[in-house]
């Protein structure tokens, strides 16, 4: 299938979950354009594999220029940590992209949401912002596929620091941990299959583990001497206060939220349309442990 006329703009293509989507689209044969505020960083990541457009979603001139000539747009935004910032980035940012896409005649939009997103959970600012963003995509009248993805395996290294892996709070729920590579392939396939149009799809990985179980598996592969410790959220809140740790302050509301709720939805339709994820947590951890420089990856704080 010739895809030369189906250029996809990836918004948020230089961040953790945007990079694999951009690379998967390239591997599938799509021309890819990245909208970024830092073109030098994007070039270091992608080389000449993608077209790079410097700009910002709230700069309507640069946004329109980035969208021009594209077939589709993949939206990967990260709001927060303040409630107003979740709404401004996730909701209003997505709405701005959708408005510009409609004006430019874009054919399809894909959007990364979350597997905990549901109306009854909109008391949490990030969930409320994602629901509004989803609705902006749906109301656009364009073809769309929304991905409600669970926790990504790529987030596990952020919970490790100084040879200690921290389980933040009780975290009793099991999650079907998902490899970004599997998710990225599903996004790329969604641009090829009419069956994915107009769908809000739940995306889970093959196996379910609690945070503690997932970190134990991760540490066994990366460094068996890393100790997995459960720390109450109250203790972490006090530690964040006295150390002025911004990353810790930012993630604590999210961990309080997930201590209360688990995954929502059912991935059966997703797996039927796009093919289910195949990378297990143990496989991903083994591959991660063998990657050069993995010990220098970013940590939680």
**Residue 81 pLDDT level (bands cut at 50, 70, 90):** confident
pTM, rounded to two decimals:
0.94
**Residue 293 pLDDT level (bands cut at 50, 70, 90):** low
Please count the other Cβ atoms lying within 10 Å of the Cβ belonging to residue 15. Answer: 12
pLDDT > 70: what percent of the chain?
Answer: 96
**Residue 289 pLDDT level (bands cut at 50, 70, 90):** confident
* Selection from 256, 280, 264 nearest residue 125 by Cα: 256
**Structural domains of the chain, with CATH:** 8-152+178-205+264-274 (3.40.50.720)
What is the average pLDDT across 64-72? 97
Is residue 191 scored above 60 in pLDDT? yes
Is residue 82 scored above 90 in pLDDT? no
What is the pLDDT at residue 301? 29
Is residue 116 scored above 70 in pLDDT? yes
pLDDT tens per residue, range 241-257: 898 788 888 899 999 99
- Locate 21 and state its tokens: 């989507």
Is residue 297 scored above 80 in pLDDT? no
What is the pLDDT at residue 243? 84
Contact 57, 63 (CB under 8 A): yes
What is the average pLDDT across 11-34? 96
* Selection from 50, 10, 46, 52 nearest residue 31 by Cα: 50
Please count the other Cβ atoms lying within 10 Å of the Cβ belonging to residue 62. Answer: 16
What sign has the CA pseudo-torsion 183, 184, 189, 190? Answer: positive
User: How big is the chain by its Cα radius of gyration, in Å?
Assistant: 19
What is the average pLDDT across 37-44? 94
For 155-185, b/e burial (b = at least 16 CB within 10 A) is bbbbbbeeeebbbbbebebebbbbbbbbbbb
- Locate 253 and state its tokens: 């509301």
DSSP 152: B
Position of tokens 């911004």?
Answer: 246
Question: Which strands make up the sheet holding 160-161, listed edge to edge?
Answer: 160-161, 164-168, 227-231
- Locate 295 and state its tokens: 């010990």
Contact 228, 219 (CB under 8 A): yes
CA 192 to chain CA centroid, nearest Å: 21
**Residue 192 pLDDT level (bands cut at 50, 70, 90):** very high
The Cα–Cα gap between 294 and 91 comes to 33
The Cα–Cα gap between 61 and 55 comes to 8
Which is it for strands 72-75 and 164-168: parallel, antiparallel or unpaired?
A: unpaired
pLDDT > 90: what percent of the chain?
Answer: 87
* Selection from 234, 180, 176, 239 nearest residue 205 by Cα: 176
What is the pLDDT at residue 1? 57
**Residue 80 pLDDT level (bands cut at 50, 70, 90):** confident
| CA 142 vs CA 56, 117, 145, 146: distances in Å | 22, 22, 10, 12
Position of tokens 């107003």?
Answer: 84
The Cα–Cα gap between 221 and 110 comes to 34
What is the pLDDT at residue 38? 93
Contact 177, 209 (CB under 8 A): yes
Position of tokens 């390239």?
Answer: 26
């Amino acid at each position: 299938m010739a895809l030369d006329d189906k250029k996809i703009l990836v918004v948020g293509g230089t961040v953790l979950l945007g990079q694999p989507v951009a690379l998967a689209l390239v591997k599938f044969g799509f021309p890819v354009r990245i909208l970024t505020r830092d073109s030098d960083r994007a070039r270091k990541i992608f080389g000449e594999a993608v077209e790079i457009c410097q700009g910002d979603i709230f700069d309507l001139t640069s946004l329109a220029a980035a969208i021009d000539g594209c077939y589709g747009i993949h939206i990967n935004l990260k709001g927060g940590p303040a409630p107003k910032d979740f709404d401004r980035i996730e909701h209003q940012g997505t709405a701005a992209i959708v408005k510009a896409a409609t004006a430019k005649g874009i054919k399809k939009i894909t959007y990364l949401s979350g597997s905990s997103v549901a109306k009854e959970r909109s008391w949490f600012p990030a969930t409320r912002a994602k629901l509004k963003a989803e609705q902006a995509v749906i109301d656009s009248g364009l073809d769309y596929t929304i991905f409600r993805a669970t926790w990504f395996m790529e987030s596990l290294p952020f919970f490790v620091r100084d040879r200690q892996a921290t389980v933040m709070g009780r975290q009793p729920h099991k999650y079907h941990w998902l490899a970004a590579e599997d998710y990225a392939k599903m996004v790329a396939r969604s641009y090829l299959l009419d069956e994915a149009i107009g769908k809000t799809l739940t995306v889970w990985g093959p196996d379910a583990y609690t945070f503690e179980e997932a970190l134990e598996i991760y540490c066994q592969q990366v460094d068996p001497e890393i100790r997995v410790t459960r720390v109450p959220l109250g203790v972490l809140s006090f530690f964040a206060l006295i150390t002025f740790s911004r990353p810790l302050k930012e993630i604590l509301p999210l961990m309080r939220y997930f201590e209360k709720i688990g995954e929502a939805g059912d991935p059966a339709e997703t797996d039927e349309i796009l093919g289910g994820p195949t990378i297990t947590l143990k496989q991903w951890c083994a591959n991660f442990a063998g990657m050069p420089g993995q010990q220098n990856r970013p940590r939680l704080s």
